[in-house]
Amino acid sequence: MQKQTSSSQSFVNAFDEFNERNRKLFSVPKIDQCLSFENKKNVCLMLNSSKSSATSFLYSIITNACVNYHATDNDNSQKRTIMIDAGNGNNLGQIYLQLVQQAMKNEFDSNKILNQIIVVRAFTFYQLLNIVINELPKQLCKLESCKIQIIVLDLLDTLISSNGIRSKHDVEKSKAEYIHNEKLVNELIDTLVNLSNKYFVIMWYDNSNQLMDDYSINSRFDNVIEINSGFIHDGFNTIKSKKRITNKKQHSVKVRIKSIRTTVSTNL
């Protein structure tokens, strides 16, 4: 009887793992179908533009990842999202607004999703290091019976604030700060990538000021999505956002997807 129970449990775990690795993560089909979780379950989102259309798109797909994870399963009580906000801005407020808007549009209870999201706020880079490297593993042990996804918002903002860069001197200062702490950044990223062996890990960082060599971060992730904004040109997937602005020009968001399988360059 015990052997039969063990066999049944193994089947359930294998089925759950299969479903995890075949998730439709962001509700954008031509992005989701290009992502691969056969090796590790991680996605790096790189924001290359400070334009509102790009940041709005970023917030929307992160919100989608939360909604899809918690609203599509009857066993939601056994799921948790650990959301670590390392940004100095209003990331959590923007995601909350997106979630409420989706709840009104699609008629689901936003509180049921919010109740399953654990929010952690880091105000300095060293707080972020402590949270990810020391405190997060402890929290994961406490939630051992739950399915968990980890989302890290604005990874480098406490180290290199994009809002504070106004001159060439600021750029050089920020570059020096990043280089000085590069080993710690690498340790932080390695911890997240290692966690993606067992848990879903989604991380985004702002590189709109092009202050760092993005390869040093992106190369560690199995899936990388670069989010840009501006005029359409070859080599990028394109998502048009019909957002009205004062001069009535149309914004576009360009998404470049790199995974362990391929680099995608078809229009969305």
Element (H, E) at 4: helix 2-21
Among 37-46, 192-201, 250-259, the minimum mean pLDDT is found in: 250-259
CA distance 42 to 28: 17
Question: What confidence category does residue 98 fall into, taking pLDDT thresholds of 50, 70 and 90?
Answer: very high
- Percentage of the chain modeled with pLDDT above 90: 45
**For range 62-83, the mean pLDDT:** 86
Residue 46, strand partner residues: 205, 226
Query: What is the residue extent of each domain of the chain?
Result: 2-264
pLDDT tens column, 199-208: 999 999 998 8
Q: Give, in order, the Cα–Cα distances in Å from 155 to each of 78, 79, 113, 218, 236.
A: 27, 23, 23, 13, 24
- Count Cα neighbours of 247 within 13 Å in the Cβ-side half-sphere: 3
* Distance from chain centroid for Cα 142: 23
Q: Give, in order, the Cα–Cα distances in Å from 61 to each of 28, 97, 142, 187.
A: 8, 13, 28, 26
Nearest alpha-carbon partner for 158 in 136, 181, 189 = 181
CATH 2.60.120.620 given to domain 2-264: no
CA distance 47 to 22: 25
Provide the pLDDT for residue 167: 53
**For range 136-161, the mean pLDDT:** 91
What does pTM read for this prediction?
A: 0.81
